[in-house]
Structure 1
């Protein structure tokens, strides 16, 4: 259990990456009427976990850990670049690089490890969030399955929190939603642990469109 404590710190709302500022397109989806109750929100988040952006993030996470362990710098560069390319809107890119860069800065100050320093030597540019957290996990010797599950749960918890602030669901329904998505999160993490870059892909087009539409939404609480 002690091995999991760093994950609890890094992925908690108190870790200074600014996750609370992003809704991943949920704000526009609520404004447009796509999301209006617990069931529609559950279906939306379940799709992100099983077929959308979180699935890809988990695969990138697992691949990053493996190439850092094998010291394959060419593959590490490919993953770092691909993670940015998969951010298919300006706000999705902002969301992942702002959190990724902030995570690297905070980690190097408080939880230094050689793998994060090595990542920045190999890839000095912006770092996508899943790549940054994966480098920290590898550097501190944390088990991959637990790391993937924790990352996925933090993603869902943050979007549930955003949904509560938007008024889509209340706090109790939000907790019920998080609990209901745990089996899907575990399955996605287990799949990602065995996946390669060839397995990347998604089909959550409405979510992708939401991130594009949010860029011009008139009244906004969130940055994405």
Structure 2
């Protein structure tokens, strides 16, 4: 089977998860800001197909919720989201507009439902607007980002991490953690599950994140794929779900 009450990440939690141990205080603060559920990108309004899995009965308790979310992380995230996020980060490092455009288009082509595509564009728009309001990006980054038409969320997320002096591995870990946290939040609201159960899922699945990050760091281009049929089906069926709380 394919299968957060939202939690503020603390410094000690990040250290236990194996990240943020060699960062400056400023970069650590930026990392926490990027990971925080207070980041105004609207991530809380999306379930990425999980709501349909709950409606269909595939996810109904702690075990099936943990299985679904864990499978999405290990099957989809480790082979698609995280490797592309890494390549976008490196392309921004080199200020390589062609590579940024290529991986942005590659990623968007892999968002295989209309809701999934709308989600990544909306979150990218919100984060891009936030960064322009904060005015923390160098002028050359602002200029290059202005040339992108409807970029994907990883495209804007990766350059945000770069400008805030967050390392590529810490960025990947934080991105995966944010997804995990939002998925647990969605399942707690919709099944519903209690707060302690939600924290148990978070604690258990957080332990696999370091290995997923390492896998993404080593994955060659030819092995990047979004093949995760149950997730694709859930996303497509959510588009016609009669009653729903989430936008995907």
Pick the TM interval, shorter chain: over 0.9
SS at match of 1:112: coil
TM-superposed deviation, 1:116: 4.5
Match of 1:167 in 2: 191
Residues 11, 154 of structure 1: 8 Å contact kept: yes
- For these two proteins, the number of residue pairs brought into alignment is 223
Distance 1:202 1:86 in 2: 6
* Distance apart, 1:140 and its partner CA: 2.3
Match of 2:62 in 1: 38
Taking the aligned partners of 1:105 and 1:141, their CA distance within structure 2 comes to 19
TM-score norm. by structure 2 comes to 0.84
In the TM superposition, what is the alpha-carbon distance from 1:131 to its structure 2 partner? 1.6
Q: Tell me, yes or no, if structure 1 residue 195 matches structure 2 residue 210.
A: no
- Cα RMSD over matched residues? 1.6
Give 5+ residue unaligned stretches, structure 1: none
2:158 equivalent to 1:134: yes
Q: Is the 8 A contact 2:110 2:226 kept in 1?
A: no
- 1:1-224 to structure 2, matched below 5 A, reads 1=23, 2=25, 3-53=27-77, 55-110=79-134, 112-114=136-138, 116-123=141-148, 125-224=149-248
Counterpart-to-counterpart distance in 2, 1:112 and 1:199: 35
Aligned to 2:15: none
Provide Cα deviations, 1:193-217, integer angstroms capped at 9, x if missing partner: 2334333113321111010000001
2: CA distance, partners of 1:105 / 1:202 = 28
Is the 1:119–1:135 contact (alpha carbons within 8 Å) kept by the matching residues of 2? no
Q: Any idea what the Cα deviations from partners look like across 1:2-28, whole Å, max 9, x if unmatched?
A: 222112112211111011110111111
Structure 2 Cα separation of the partners of residues 216 and 70 of structure 1: 42
Q: What is the CA distance between 1:55 and its match in structure 2?
A: 4.0
CA shift at 1:167, angstroms? 2.5
User: Partners in 2 of 1:111 and 1:149 — Cα distance?
Assistant: 25
TM-score where L is the length of structure 1:
0.93
Are the counterparts in 1 of residues 78 and 215 from structure 2 also a CA contact under 8 Å? no
Distance change (3 Å), C-alpha of 1:116 and 1:217: farther
Indicate if the aligned counterparts of 2:91 and 2:99 stay in contact, CA closer than 8 A: yes
- SS of equivalent to 2:88: helix
Displaced runs of 4 or more, over 6 A? none
Q: Which has the higher helix share?
A: 1
Provide structure 2 residue ranges, at least 5 long, that are not aligned to the other structure: 1-22
**Which range moved further: 69-78 or 84-93?**
69-78
- Is the Cα–Cα contact under 8 Å of residues 121 and 151 in structure 2 kept in the other structure? yes
Report how far residue 130 of structure 1 moved. Answer: 1.5
